[in-house]
Amino acid sequence: MNLFDVYPVNPINIVRAKGSAVWDAEGNEYLDLYGGHAVISVGHTHPHYVHSITSQLNEIGFYSNSIEIPIQKRLGKLLGEVSGKEDYALFLCNSGAEANENALKLASFHTGRKKVISFSKAFHGRTSLAVAVTDNPAIVAPVNQTDNAVFLPFNDEEALSDAFSAYGNEVAAVIIEGIQGVGGIREASVSFLRLIRQLCDEFGATFVADSVQCGYGRTGIFYSHDYAGIKADIYTMAKGMGNGFPIGAISISPKYKASYGLLGTTFGGNHLACAAAVSVLEIFQAESLMDNARVVGEYLISELKRFDKVNEVRGRGLMIGIDLPVELSNVKKGLLTKNRIFTGEAKPNVIRILPALNIDKAIADRFLEALDERLKEA
């Protein structure tokens, strides 16, 4: 069987990894500042992470949610502590799209309504409702198209207020990334997030904070939406949660009531995934990773702003977008082929930096020197 050819791939075979270093089959070392789409949070093959997963696998890897799984409760307790949302409830699933799908479904059950407001350039995943509220017609199949999804311009307070005045009583949920990732590292403004909170309260709608990419400590606090001093009703998460082990979750405000069968999954919350996620949060605590993300991120952002060839530097903590003029479209490729540094991209010409949260200043400097080299060459 051939693979279904949906990914343009770099011709590099990574066979080994440690921290933020990865090696290809020929033994070449690369610096990973992308973490495979913002997934690697505590660094590749962290010893505590490897030990936790292997020990769990030697005991039991999987059983379904029809039995008690105490490690789920341990994960809930830790996540409550680290995220500062101890009164919220946890539902475990397997991916970011699935987390958003469940959040929107729960919002609809709770409100009895159908409309979901989303924003221009949003990315929420590829399952049916998640993709319907994603602003990219190319990945929305005809079967996913629905009038229940409404798109408004990002950060446009007037458009949001007008929408709620017109049909606020039909809105089940507003879903928003605290910082848009695929959309090019664009931050939701504090006043916009506060207005969403205010209108959701006024009209009884659910505020869903998509924290799949911008959450899990990446910006220096656990959920980037919380910089606005508000609490969302449901936070969705995945990527950094398992440091590469597939796991997703939603954190649900106490006002949402559970009932048997309301949500469900076969694999979500299995022993092995929980062991991965627990060890990630233990490393967060032991190594103060959120503080590190904030400090190293602030350093990187301030240094990046000194490059005069860069149009704009956006983001917070270790979620950084370097917006380059179109004529410098080769810089990202040069970083990989000449400096052996993995970075991400967003259209039209934004370099996305989404490294492990434990990178240090020396790694940041290595990147800054490489970028300087590439920009001078351009």
Ligand X SMILES: Cc1ncc(COP(=O)(O)O)c(C=O)c1O
Positions in the binding site for ligand X (CB under 6 A): 37, 95-97, 100, 123-125, 177, 181-182, 210, 212-213, 238
Quote the least distance from Cβ 16 to ligand X, whole Å: 24
Tell the smallest beta-carbon distance from residue 211 to ligand X (Å). 8
Shortest distance in whole angstroms from residue 209 CB to ligand X: 10
**Closest CB to ligand X among residues 32, 210:** 210
- Of 126 and 366, CB closest to ligand X: 126
The nearest distance, CB 238 to ligand X, in angstroms, is 5
Sheet holding 341-342, edge to edge: 14-18, 21-24, 29-32, 341-342
What is the nearest approach in angstroms of ligand X to the Cβ of residue 223? 12
Report the residue number, 36 or 204, with the smaller CB distance to ligand X. Answer: 36
Nearest to ligand X of 185, 364 (CB atom)? 185
Q: With contact defined as beta carbons under 8 Å apart, do 312 and 73 qualify?
A: no
Nearest residue to the partner ligand X, using Cβ = 96
Tell me how far, at minimum, the Cβ of 331 lies from ligand X, in Å: 22
Q: Considering beta carbons, is residue 35 or 181 the nearer one to ligand X?
A: 181
Nearer to ligand X, 235 or 256 (CB): 235
Three-class secondary structure assignment of the chain:
CCCCCCCCCCCCCEEEEEECEEEECCCCEEEECCHHHHCCCCCECCHHHHHHHHHHHHHCCCCCCCCCCHHHHHHHHHHHHHHCCCCCEEEEECCHHHHHHHHHHHHHHHHCCCEEEEECCCCCCCCHHHHHCCCCHHHCCHHHCCCCEEEECCCCHHHHHHHHHHHHHHEEEEEEECEECCCCCEECCHHHHHHHHHHHHHHCCEEEEECCCCCCCCCCCCCHHHHHCCCCCEEEECHHHHCCCCCEEEEECCCCCCCCCCCCCCCCCCHHHHHHHHHHHHHHHHCCHHHHHHHHHHHHHHHHCCCCCCCEEEEECCEEEEECCHHHCCHHHHHHHCCCEECEEECCCEEEECCCCCCCHHHHHHHHHHHHHHHHHC
Whichever of 72 and 95 has its CB closer to ligand X, that residue is 95
Nearer to ligand X, 95 or 102 (CB): 95
Structure tokens at 372: 């300087």
Nearer to ligand X, 76 or 125 (CB): 125
Compute the least distance from the CB of residue 318 to ligand X, in Å: 15
CB of 165 to ligand X, least distance (A): 28
Minimum CB–partner distance for residue 78 and ligand X (Å): 21
| Half-sphere exposure at residue 7, Cβ-oriented, CA atoms within 13 angstroms | 4
CA distances from 57 to 136, 249, 270, 275, 300 (A): 39, 21, 11, 9, 38
